[in-house]
Chain A
Amino acid sequence: MKTVLKNIYSWIDERVHLEDVVHFMGKKYVPVHSHTIWYYFGGVSLFLFIIQVITGILLLLYYKSGEELAFESIQFIMSKVQFGWLIRSVHSWAANLFILAAFIHMFSVYFGKAYRKPREITWLSGMLMLFLALAFGFSGYLLPWNELAFFATKVGTDIAGVVPVIGEPLLVFMRGGEDVTGATLTRLFGFHVAVFPGIFTVLLAIHLLLVQRQGMSEPLEYAVEKNTVRKTMPFFPNFILRDLLLWLIVVNILAILAVFFPWELGKKADAFAPAPAGIKPEWYFLFMFQTLKYIPAQIWFVDGEVLGILLFGLAGLLWMLVPFWDKKSSRGERNRWVNYFGLFAVMYIIIFTIIGWLV
Chain B
Amino acid sequence: MKKYFGKPILLMFIIVSLVIAKEPDKCFECHQSLGDKPSELFSRDVHFQKGISCAGCHGGNAHAEEMEQAMDTNAGFLGVPKGDAISETCAKCHSSEEMLSKYQSQLPHNQLEMLETSVHGKMATSGKEHIVQCVTCHHSHGIVSVKNATSPVYPLNVVQTCTKCHANAAYMKTYNPSLAVDQLEKYRTSIHGEKNATGDANVAECASCHGSHDIQNANDVRSRVYPTNLPQTCATCHSNSQYMKEYNIPTNQFSEFAKSIHGVALLQKKDFGAPACNDCHGNHGATPPGISSISKVCGSCHALNAELFSESPHKKAYDERNFPECETCHGNHGVVDATDKLLGVSEGAVCIQCHQHDKFPKGYETAKTFRSIIDSLEIVSKAAIQLVNEAEQKGMEISEAKFKLRDAQQARMESRTMIHSFNKEKFLEVTKKGFEVAEFVRSEASLAVDEFYYRRWGLGISTFIITIVAVSLFFYIRRIETKQQTHNTSST
Give the interface of A toward B (CB within 8 A). 75, 78-79, 85-86, 233-234, 237-238, 241-242, 244-245, 248-249, 251-252, 255-256, 259, 261-262, 264-265
Contacts and interface: CB of A to CB of B under 8 A. Distances in A.
Given A79-B398, A259-B455, A241 B476 contact: yes
Nearest to B476: A241
Interface string B462-489: 1100110110011011001100100000
Given A255-B463, A259-B455, A248 B473 contact: yes
B480 A79 contact: no
User: In which size bucket is the chain B interface?
Assistant: 20 to 34
20 contacts: A75-B399, A78-B397, A79-B398, A233-B481, A234-B484, A238-B480, A241-B473, A241-B476, A242-B477, A245-B477, A248-B466, A248-B469, A248-B473, A252-B463, A252-B466, A252-B470, A255-B463, A256-B463, A259-B456, A259-B459
Contact of B399 (A79, A233, A237, A238): A79
A75 B458 CA distance: 22
Given A238-B477, A238-B481, A245-B473, A255 B462 contact: yes
Given A238-B480, A241-B476, A79 B400 contact: yes
A255 B448 CA distance: 19
Contacts of A261: 395
B397 A255 contact: no
A249 to B, nearest CB: 6
A85 B447 CA distance: 14
Nearest to A263: B395
Nearest to A74: B397
Contacts of B400: 75, 79
A213 B71 CA distance: 121
Contacts of B463: 252, 255-256
A334 to B, nearest CB: 33
A2 B469 CA distance: 23
A223 to B, nearest CB: 24
B36 to A, nearest CB: 71
A101 B463 CA distance: 22
Contacts of B455: 85-86, 259
Contacts of A259: 455-456, 458-459
Given A248-B469, A259-B459, A237 B480 contact: yes
Interface in B417-461: 448, 455-456, 458-459
Contacts of B462: 255
Given A78-B397, A238-B484, A255-B466, 15 more contacts: A75-B400, A79-B397, A79-B400, A79-B448, A85-B455, A242-B477, A245-B473, A252-B463, A255-B459, A255-B463, A256-B459, A259-B456, A259-B458, A261-B395, A262-B395
B206 to A, nearest CB: 45
A241 B470 CA distance: 10
A252 B395 contact: no
Contacts of B477: 238, 241-242, 245
Contact of A248 (B448, B459, B470, B484): B470
A265 B470 CA distance: 33
B211 to A, nearest CB: 41
B71 to A, nearest CB: 70
B467 A252 contact: yes
Report, nearest first, the 5 A-B pairs whose CB atoms are least far apart.
Answer: A78-B397, A248-B470, A79-B397, A259-B459, A245-B473
B470 A85 contact: no
A248 B474 CA distance: 11
Contact of B397 (A85, A86, A234, A251): A85
Nearest to A233: B481
Contacts of B459: 255-256, 259
Nearest to A259: B459
A85 B480 CA distance: 40
A263 B126 CA distance: 69
A252 B460 CA distance: 10
Nearest to A242: B477
A245 B399 contact: no
B397 A75 contact: yes
Contacts of A78: 397
Contacts of B473: 241, 244-245, 248
A262 to B, nearest CB: 5
A244 B397 CA distance: 33
Interface string B359-398: 0000000000000000000000000000000000001011
A264 B459 CA distance: 19
B239 to A, nearest CB: 45
Contacts of B476: 241
A12 B194 CA distance: 112
Contacts of A244: 473
A231 to B, nearest CB: 11
B466 A251 contact: yes
A248 B462 CA distance: 11
Nearest to A264: B395
B444 to A, nearest CB: 9
A251 B469 CA distance: 12
Contacts of A242: 477
A160 to B, nearest CB: 32
